[in-house]
Amino acid sequence: MKTFLLTGVVSLALILTLVPHQSVAYQATETNAVKLTDDTYLFTITNRMSYQTYGLSVPVLTERQPSAAAINLERIGYQIKQADGSVFTAGEAAAIMLSDTDYTNGRYTTDTSEAGLFTLLVLLRVSDPTDQAGSGVYLETSSYPFVLSKSDETIETALDSGQRASHVTPVVTW
């Protein structure tokens, strides 16, 4: 029995040593929605990311996506939705990604294993909220592309739908 247990422990140690892996730290930290005036709303989604074996590059620019769209590596995609989950296309929105990391050529960057705090900030203005259907709106990210890099490798990727599931603000009422 001891031989079997020892063999299992040694095998597991070899597998963990020989199989390539990377340590990922991703955490959605805060979402918020605020009615600033009768016709203006502020939404924020904040998260922290770092990769142990790669540097990270996240776009500053954003794109309001009224429908499902292909991932644009140069922009964070977002949708404003009605409380019932349907996409809200009315109103004017302005958005930008903010971060506590270095800024280079339209992207926020981190070094290997350095954590970055990233906040999507969206302002929405609707001409007459009393004319809008439903009880209110919320914000969610529809695409969150980023680039991982180290000296000899670059990987273009994005948060998957499971990771983006926490990228939803509370509903703000009209």
Q: What is the pTM of this model?
A: 0.81
Identify the CATH number of the domain in which residue 164 sits: 2.60.40
pLDDT at 68: 66
Please say whether the beta carbons of 106 and 77 come within 8 A.
Answer: no
Mean pLDDT for 155-172 is 88
Summarised one tens digit per residue, pLDDT across range 84-108 is: 999 998 999 999 999 999 999 999 9
Residue 154 lies in a domain: yes
pLDDT at 120: 97
What is the number of domains present in the chain?
1
Mean pLDDT for 128-135 is 69
Residue 106 lies in a domain: yes
Quote the domain boundaries for residue 167: 22-173
Residue 148 lies in a domain: yes
pLDDT at 113: 84
Residue 15 lies in a domain: no
Summarised one tens digit per residue, pLDDT across range 39-96 is: 999 999 999 998 888 999 999 999 998 776 677 889 999 999 999 999 998 999 999 9
Residue 8 lies in a domain: no
φ, ψ for residue 4 (rounded to 5)?
A: -60, -45
